[in-house]
Structure 1
Amino acid sequence: MPRWRTCGCSRSSARRSYQSTWRAWTAAEATRINPDGDVELPDDVVRTFTVVPCTVCGGVLKPDVVFFGENVPKSRVERCYSLIDDANAVLVLGSSLTVMSGFRFVRYAAKAGTPVLIINQGLTRGDPYAAFRVDLPLGQALGELVRKASGPSHA
């Protein structure tokens, strides 16, 4: 479930608690709502845009994700290491592993002897650690995997 975190008080809440406010605003102001959820807004609306504030501290809300340049919370990193400790393999899908926050888990798994499998178009930073690698666009690779796993079709 998508969550939002307040930059001020670090309160976390479900996105749906703010969704009605955004939906009403975008429905009234948007000239177009794109398939990815982005909206196209007239210039006068953009100039007067204000962010929906946290209902507790009035701080700025942001998706509860780690943006580029931010640190991954220590508890989340520890949870990932624990999952790798219990895993039979680590599968990397569609990532160059350029950012340390993902790459460190590949190195950790390889050092522990847990096989790393990578599906990505082009080289990745984790290639030297991979036990198996598929160099294809992710959609194509996963589509082929599903077709093979489904077996012969019966027409």
Structure 2
Amino acid sequence: MWDTATPIEETLRTFDDLIKSGKIRHYGFSNVCGWQMQKISDTAKLLNLNPCVSLQQHYNLLTRDSELESLIACQNEGIYVLPWGPLRGGMLTGKFKKDQEPDATGSRVGYFNSKKEIPHWMKDWIEFGSNDKYWALITVIETIAKAHGIVHFILF
């Protein structure tokens, strides 16, 4: 992640030293915005350091804001993208049904929902359980899956 307390030049020089000493082969960043990704790339070029090769970013059909800047910077600079949360905590698997509480034993979403103590990082059911746009998206995904002969698109 971006560290406002440490100059990016220091971080990049450290990564370069680690590569040159054989401690690591490559490095990447996680959860940075577009201008930060571009600054990382430009600074490594300017200082003639080993480049950043990947960005690990929260990205899925429900979380697409990375498309606005971060992914464009990665595309322009030849940096690979490693999405985290691609199934949005199971919300994009088709295992949840509209107007049905999630099974408390079948997922983290269901478990935390049953406890009524949902941590901030697991707010998905609260956010999407009654969201008509979410359910419309799930319907489209199911239609596409069935059209391709995929009866169940639950991946785990």
Report the TM-score, using the length of structure 1 for normalisation: 0.31
Higher normalized strand content (fraction of residues): 1
Higher normalized helix content (fraction of residues): 2
Report the TM-score, using the length of structure 2 for normalisation: 0.31
Give 1 or 2 for the bigger CA radius of gyration: 1
